[in-house]
């Protein structure tokens, strides 16, 4: 018997911690129904729909409540969801969606093409920061019957079929929202969707509770009974809750980077960086060009010569990312070009540019003072602020950093335009038309629309490039337009690309069916289940 036991343990430990868990607890071969999943996130959402504010916590919760017309597989190819099938016309100016007949809203009302028409024309095209570009060529949605929606386009669109998932383009109930401003409608905080989970409760400052939708159209799903999203602002507290088993899932790098190596030694926990590539999120340093100093191109170029990207990554994120040098990330190989202006780390050059801009050092060595804000969604916000403060001090620029809560940050940057410098991430998305147009298009500046052009950037040459790639039919010519876009963006520098978003997901191995597809971190938990 002793020899058998020694042989058993030699096999287990040779296979590592994952095998040890499997040996200690056999995982059922089929999903198991039941259980409550506890998720930790920060910040608290501002809305339970992502249609007008696509901040990550809004997206990741509401994707459980709402569906999109399509989903996307590991190769970014569209798959059926609320739409059973779709077909583009030969001239590319219409797309006909055939909708499911067996879908009901959570209040029991039937889902029909009228909901698709309302969502596309009144929500995605008008108030969604990315949708206003994605659906720029959409002129109408015809509804010949309750189960058919025909999208009419003024020109063929190379981007539109990339944007129909349930986090990016949520289909909303027309009978709840039509005729009302979605941004102020109370239904945004008590949502009614078609998704696998129904809204139950939002205890402000504490948690959102979702419960299983027993009438979900994808029969047999979801497997979980409930999901509770706990709002835990402190990253160390989130880490401790994961270790203790109080929470079972934390997305978007929600534990301290200093804890990663230690947590990975825990055989009960899993880590994976997949699930984020669809968004291609990139962190930028962005400038308010209304400021007299920042309106000078040479000042912005000087800033670009000051930022040591790799040192920032190593210092603040423990090396868990890669630098980016273009506004289109290098991971989007189809659209990326390295034939752009580059700004190497060069303090002497930065000082020269600031002098040439007319802002010479004063007697105390200082040139001017700016306010810096960082996205509160980042757990590293304080460290980012301190790093940038020290970096700019080398050239006589004082940064005054003030941490803000999520609501104040969004209002100050995107409604009041009351800021100087911002460090923030933007999802460039699978097709950069979706993610970049809203930031660089002069027409995209709309007070109250988050994550759009809040920077007063306006260049007719850039607007012309945007207009061309939105309507370009030839895929290769469209790529060439994006190359021109990058060159001009890196010359004007209203934003400086800094690094890839260092995202990963951590979860307890009792949670099975975690979605690691390109958009998995935003897709919700319709396929997830808990080992009893």
> Which DSSP letter does residue 104 get?
B
Q: How many CA atoms within 13 Å lie on the side-chain side of 56?
A: 27
Cis omega (within 30 of 0) for bond into 222? yes
Q: pLDDT band at residue 270, thresholds of 50, 70 and 90?
A: very high
Closest CA to 525 of 39, 172, 19: 39
In residues, how long is the chain? 532
Average pLDDT over residues 484-497: 98
**Mean pLDDT, the chain, as a whole number?**
93
Q: Say which CATH topology domain 281-500 has.
A: Dipeptide-binding Protein; domain 3 (3.10.105)
Task: Examine the pLDDT at 140 and tell me if it is beyond 80.
Answer: yes
| Residue-wise pLDDT tens digits, 171-197 | 999 999 999 888 888 989 999 999 999
Q: pLDDT band at residue 23, thresholds of 50, 70 and 90?
A: very low
Give the CA diameter of the chain. Answer: 85
Residue 380 pLDDT? 86
Q: pLDDT band at residue 1, thresholds of 50, 70 and 90?
A: very low
Q: How many CA atoms within 13 Å lie on the side-chain side of 499?
A: 21
- Helix and strand numbers (H, E) in the chain are 16, 20
Average pLDDT over residues 338-358: 98
Average pLDDT over residues 203-223: 97
| Residue-wise pLDDT tens digits, 498-524 | 999 999 999 999 999 999 999 999 999
> Across the beta sheet with 505-508, what order do the strands follow?
197-203, 207-212, 226-231, 36-41, 249-250, 505-508, 269-272
Residue 85 to residue 217: CA distance in whole angstroms:
16
User: Which residues have C-beta within 8 Å of that of residue 60, sequence separation ≥ 6?
Assistant: 41, 167, 251, 252, 521, 522, 524
- Where is 397: in which H helix or E strand? strand 397-401
Radius of gyration for the chain, computed over Cα atoms and rounded to the nearest angstrom: 24
| Residue-wise pLDDT tens digits, 395-424 | 999 999 999 998 999 999 999 999 999 999
Average pLDDT over residues 324-353: 97
CB atoms within 10 A of CB 415: 14
Q: Which residues of 279-309 are buried (b: 16+ CB within 10 A; e: fewer)?
A: bbbbbbbbbbbebebbebebbbbbbbbbbeb
Q: Higher-confidence residue: 24 or 454?
A: 454
Q: pLDDT band at residue 3, thresholds of 50, 70 and 90?
A: very low
Angle at the Cα of 41 (from 427 to 265), degrees rounded to 5?
A: 100
Give yes or no for a contact between 108 and 214, defined as CB atoms under 8 angstroms apart.
Answer: no
Residue 305 to residue 348: CA distance in whole angstroms:
9
Average pLDDT over residues 459-463: 98
Q: pLDDT band at residue 16, thresholds of 50, 70 and 90?
A: very low
Q: Say which CATH topology domain 66-177 has.
A: Dipeptide-binding Protein; domain 1 (3.90.76)
- What phi and psi values does residue 69 have, to the nearest 5 degrees? -65, -35
Average pLDDT over residues 212-235: 97
Residue 519 pLDDT? 92
Q: Say which CATH topology domain 34-65+195-276+503-532 has.
A: D-Maltodextrin-Binding Protein; domain 2 (3.40.190)
Task: Examine the pLDDT at 6 and tell me if it is beyond 60.
Answer: no
Task: Examine the pLDDT at 478 and tell me if it is beyond 90.
Answer: yes
Residue 201 to residue 208: CA distance in whole angstroms:
6
Residue 410 to residue 46: CA distance in whole angstroms:
10
Q: How many CA atoms within 13 Å lie on the side-chain side of 425?
A: 24
Task: Examine the pLDDT at 14 and tell me if it is beyond 90.
Answer: no
Average pLDDT over residues 441-453: 93
Helices (H), 357-423: 381-393, 406-414
Average pLDDT over residues 292-313: 98
Residue 164 to residue 233: CA distance in whole angstroms:
31
Residue 27 pLDDT? 85
- What phi and psi values does residue 301 have, to the nearest 5 degrees? -65, -35
| Crossing angle (nearest 10°) for helices 381-393 and 309-316 | 140
Residue 36 to residue 510: CA distance in whole angstroms:
12
Average pLDDT over residues 461-486: 96
Task: Examine the pLDDT at 66 and tell me if it is beyond 60.
Answer: yes
Give yes or no for a contact between 528 and 222, defined as CB atoms under 8 angstroms apart.
Answer: yes
Q: pLDDT band at residue 19, thresholds of 50, 70 and 90?
A: very low
Average pLDDT over residues 11-33: 55
Q: Which residues of 34-69 are buried (b: 16+ CB within 10 A; e: fewer)?
A: ebebbbbbbbbbbbbbbbbbbbbbbbbbbbbbbbbb
Task: Examine the pLDDT at 230 and tell me if it is beyond 60.
Answer: yes
Domain boundaries, the chain: 34-65+195-276+503-532, 66-177, 281-500
Domain 281-500 in the same topology as domain 66-177: no
Task: Examine the pLDDT at 33 and tell me if it is beyond 70.
Answer: yes
Average pLDDT over residues 480-495: 98
């Amino acid at each position: 018997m002793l020899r058998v036991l020694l042989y058993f343990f030699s096999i287990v430990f040779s296979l590592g911690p994952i095998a040890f868990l499997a040996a200690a607890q056999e995982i059922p071969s089929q999903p198991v129904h039941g259980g409550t999943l506890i998720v930790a996130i920060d910040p608290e959402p501002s809305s339970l729909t992502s249609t007008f504010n696509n901040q990550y916590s809004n997206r990741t919760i509401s994707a459980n409540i709402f569906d999109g017309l399509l989903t996307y597989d590991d190769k970014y190819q569209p798959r059926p969801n609320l739409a059973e099938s779709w077909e583009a016309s030969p001239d590319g100016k219409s797309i006909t969606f055939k909708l499911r007949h067996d879908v009901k809203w959570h209040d029991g009302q039937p889902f029909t093409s009228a909901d698709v028409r309302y969502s596309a024309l009144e929500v995605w095209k008008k108030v969604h920061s990315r949708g206003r570009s994605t659906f720029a060529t959409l002129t109408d949605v015809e509804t010949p019957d309750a189960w058919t929606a025909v999208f009419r386009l003024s020109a063929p669109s190379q981007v539109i079929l990339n944007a129909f998932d349930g986090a990016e383009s949520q289909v909303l109930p027309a009978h709840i929202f039509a005729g009302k401003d979605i941004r102020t409608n109370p239904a945004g905080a008590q949502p009614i969707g078609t998704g696998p989970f129904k809204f139950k409760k939002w205890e402000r400052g504490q948690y959102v509770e979702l419960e299983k939708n027993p009438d979900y159209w994808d029969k047999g799903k979801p497997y979980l009974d409930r999901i509770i999203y706990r709002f835990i602002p402190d990253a160390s507290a989130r880490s401790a809750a994961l270790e203790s088993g109080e929470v079972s899932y934390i997305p978007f790098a929600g534990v301290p980077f200093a804890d990663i190596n230690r947590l990975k030694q825990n055989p009960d926990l899993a880590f994976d960086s997949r699930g984020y590539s669809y968004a291609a999120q990139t962190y930028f340093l962005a400038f308010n060009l209304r400021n007299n100093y920042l309106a000078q191109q040479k000042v912005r170029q000087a800033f670009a010569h000051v930022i040591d990207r790799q040192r920032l990554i190593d210092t603040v994120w423990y090396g868990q990312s890669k630098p980016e040098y273009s506004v289109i990330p290098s991971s989007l190989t189809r659209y990326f070009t390295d034939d752009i202006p580059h700004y190497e780390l060069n303090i002497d050059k930065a000082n020269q540019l600031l002098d040439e801009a007319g802002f010479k050092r004063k007697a105390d060595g200082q040139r001017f003072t700016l306010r810096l804000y960082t996205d509160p969604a980042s757990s590293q916000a304080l460290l980012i602020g301190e790093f940038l403060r020290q970096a700019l001090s080398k050239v006589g620029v004082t940064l005054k950093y003030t941490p803000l809560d999520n609501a104040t940050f969004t209002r100050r940057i995107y409604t009041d335009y009351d800021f100087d410098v911002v460090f923030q991430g933007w999802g460039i998305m699978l097709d950069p038309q979706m993610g970049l147009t809203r930031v660089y298009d002069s027409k995209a500046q709309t007070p109250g629309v988050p994550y759009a052009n809040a920077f007063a950037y306006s260049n007719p040459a850039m607007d012309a490039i945007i207009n061309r790639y939105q309507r370009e039919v030839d895929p290769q010519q469209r790529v060439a337009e994006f190359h021109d876009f990058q060159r001009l963006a890196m010359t004007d520098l209203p934003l400086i690309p800094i690094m890839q978003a260092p995202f990963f997901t951590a979860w307890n191995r009792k949670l099975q069916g975690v979605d690691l597809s390109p958009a998995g971190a935003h897709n919700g938990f319709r396929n997830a289940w808990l080992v009893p």
